[in-house]
Chains A and B, each alone.
Chain A
Amino acid sequence: MARKIYKLPDIGEGIAEGEIVKWLVKEGDYVKQFQPLVEVLTAKAKVEIPSPYDGRIVKILAREGDVVPVGAPLLEIEVSGEAVEAAVEKPGEPIEKTIETVKEDKVSSSIRVRAPPGVRLLARRLGVDLTKVRGSGPNGIITKADVEAYIESMKARESRVVSEEPREALEERVKIRGIRRFMFKNMAMAKQSIPHAYLIEEVDVTELWRLREKVKEYGLDKGVKITILPFIIKAVIHALKEYPLLNASVDEEKEEIIVKKYYNIGIAVDAGDALVVPNIKDADKKSILELAREIRELAEKARKGELSLEDVSNGTFTITNIGAIGSIAGMAVINPPEVAILGVHRTFERPVLEGDKLVNRKFMYISISFDHRILEGAYVTRFLVKVKDLLENPYNLLVE
């Protein structure tokens, strides 16, 4: 049995390397000639590399995910059959032998190129591979003019390619990994499987901000910066209690809606390079102060990447407070397996006619994206109006 190193073959036109996507065989496997060995992704396509021999895979020499150049060793194979055996004398040696043969083939082919020494020196200086140059002299002898013409044609070709090349040079490929990969999969799944529907409501938050101003000092005394978000959470929970189908998830297999009697309110947090949604457990049982404190803690943990699985599991409804950064309105994507998400947008000021006087009031838009498979517009609108009413009259939150 002769052992051979099989290298990534020249797959075709200009392909210099490929990424090992998937091995279709493993060490110890017996393979037939032309049986696919490995999937390789090149710049142009994904291809399957077939086995050149019948034999047994001794060792796989390139890992999945590796990007390897043409000619790089892929695997060591113990070849069955006599033709190859005869070419290789002893086991143990063939690795070197194979390499040597390739090297010498190159030499002999370079010997066959017909060019006088002066032309060879010119080509060597210019880095031109003479096997690629067409000779115009008698019997195809390559002249200096042929080498120069070749250089010119390469330059012309390069300048044609230039317009395309810099674009790639100005790009950076970032691997989709970790938390971003989770977002990558989850958001695609949400949008593909959940028919989203959307509503937007305008909320006069003048009183809400006034209230928030009034309690701000109190909060700071307790060591917490109170924002409007805890009030929004309170308002949402009150509304959810009235419209419980929004605090739910879907069991698609059994075609059932699971209505939750607990309120774990997720808050979308900007964790630098990706979105994470930790949730406040039993938010309905917590005070504004406690909510504010917990929001701060969760956001902090998210930014440090210290969130536990528990922190991000079992949410029942999500609020994305994108307005804290900007955005006048927008439509969020539902965080599966939940059925709706509330978007809170930027507060802005607008004069309003009050009697016959123009007064300055604060407004913001709230938007809701909901799973239209199980929720219908009227129901969700009522929910949204409830939220709006509570936010416009925040003192009612004390009463509810």
Chain B
Amino acid sequence: MEKYDVLVVGGGPAGYPAAIRAAQNGAKVAIIERDKFGGECTNYGCIPTKALLKGAKVAEELNRYPFVKGGVSIDFKELMRWVGRVSSRSSRGVEYLLKGYGVEIYRGEARFKDVKTVKVGDKELHGDKVILALGSRPIDIPGFPVDGERIHNNRTILGIDEKPGSIAIIGAGYIGVEYATVFSSLGSEVFLIELLERVLPLMDKDFSRLMDKILRRRGVKIYTGVKAEKPEIGGDGVSIRLSNGDVINVDIVLVAVGRRPNSEGLDGLGVRLDEKGFVIVDDMMMTNVDGVYAAGDLAGQPMLAHKAFLEGVIAGENASGGEIYKVSKFIPSVVYTEPELVSVGYTLEAALDNGIKAEEKLYPIGGVAKAYIEGMTEGFVKMVVDGEGSIYGIHIAAPNASELAGEATYLLETRSTVEDVALTVHPHPTISEALKEAAEYIIGRPYHYLLK
């Protein structure tokens, strides 16, 4: 049996930072991965989808400007090959880092003998401390068996090498909306079906309104408050009956209705789970079992890579003799649509629910010169503030808004006020000026916006 100070199960965005941090602290560390390093994010999620979006946007952007002559078209096969290369390069980078820090790598399915002893192939590994980073997987919906041919989830969709003439996307959360953006940019006919009343149902309502408008303009057919009934899979496509009576015929279907944690069997090992199957952890990422940590999607919502990074580092640090706590309260969410969406902190509803006398102020992005240069003037910066200028939430819809997510989160983590933002110089011309302009607007003295 091989003995380690720290045994990390799972090589995704929670597992690999945990392993690296523990190794940096001098621990003898092993990591187990059954698929590819980097996990869902690097191989099936954030990285390839953003590459795909970039590819789709390039052509679309070029076609947007009047001075570009001649049609620009995309070779879909080449695009998908490039997307694959981006992912595998990223995954290899993770492996390179792990090896460089002296982490021992085991490939294969981890089978738990007890919570600290794991079999991989014919090897038995024991960790004095164990970090569970088992991740999550897409939720299937009854009647839509994912076959990788006609019915896809976020993993199999990356395997297609032919641009679909038409696609039905079930679920208008951030994955659904991003893929609707991709395929509408590429010229596929897109049907977006959402059970709840609006697209991006869990985000700020102004995002839903904007995305609904923009996607419809792109030709996406949006069905909200509608359920997709059992599909009929034929030789040349899929026929789906909707609960409103419509029948749609598409080449392929993408199911994007959410994810669930890979926590099966952990309770049998003595690890406590909550009612949704997430592992319960404290602010050191320790489970109820002494010396056993959990991080990432397995340890609760939101299931986002940057939250997994945060938790992985905390688990890795604490498992290797350090003492660090999860003090970061704000996890930004980013949606890579056109324009990009960023949300961090409370929405107005959440602030009011929490007893804060808040109001929301919306500043349209059109007042920012760079937005016009980027060719996208639809969008806004919205702040949820109280009468003293304390900021409780920031919601941005703007070109490259994802690059503002860090600043927005920092403003909240430091409990900055709108005055602080207004007094901080933001370079011109950038989209980041929108934050400063919004702050000036809230204070009541904007100089790039005419108050009526």
Contacts and interface: CB of A to CB of B under 8 A. Distances in A.
Interface string A89-128: 0000000000001001101100111111100110011000
Interface stretch (B130-138, B273-281, B414-422, B433-441): B414-422
Contacts of B301: none
Given A104-B354, A104-B355, A111 B323 contact: no
Contacts of A107: 354
A327 B327 CA distance: 68
A141 interface: yes
Contact of A112 (B323, B325, B415): B415
Interface residues of B, number: 19
B413 A108 contact: no
Contact of B414 (A101, A108, A116, A121): A116
Given A112-B415, A116-B413, A117-B413, A139 B328 contact: no
The size bracket of the interface on A is 10 to 19
B290 to A, nearest CB: 20
A117 B355 contact: no
Contacts, number: 42
B16 to A, nearest CB: 22
A113 B390 CA distance: 10
Contacts of A112: 390, 415
A139 B388 CA distance: 12
Contacts of B327: 117, 120-121, 124
B392 A111 contact: yes
Interface in B401-452: 413-417, 419-420
A138 B416 CA distance: 10
Nearest to A122: B327
A111 B324 contact: no
B354 A108 contact: yes
B415 A111 contact: yes
A111 B392 CA distance: 8
B325 A125 contact: yes
Contacts of B420: 138-139
B123 interface: no
Nearest to A140: B415
Interface in A64-102: 101
Most buried by A among B283, B413, B414: B414
B354 A139 contact: no
A116 B413 CA distance: 6
B259 to A, nearest CB: 26
B415 A121 contact: no
Interface of B: 283, 323-325, 327-329, 354-356, 390, 392, 413-417, 419-420
> 7 smallest A-B Cβ distances: which pairs?
A120-B327, A114-B415, A124-B325, A116-B414, A121-B327, A117-B413, A104-B354
Interface of A: 101, 104-105, 107-108, 111-117, 120-121, 124-125, 138-139, 141
14 contacts: A104-B354, A107-B354, A108-B356, A111-B329, A112-B390, A114-B414, A114-B416, A116-B414, A117-B413, A120-B327, A121-B324, A121-B327, A124-B325, A141-B415
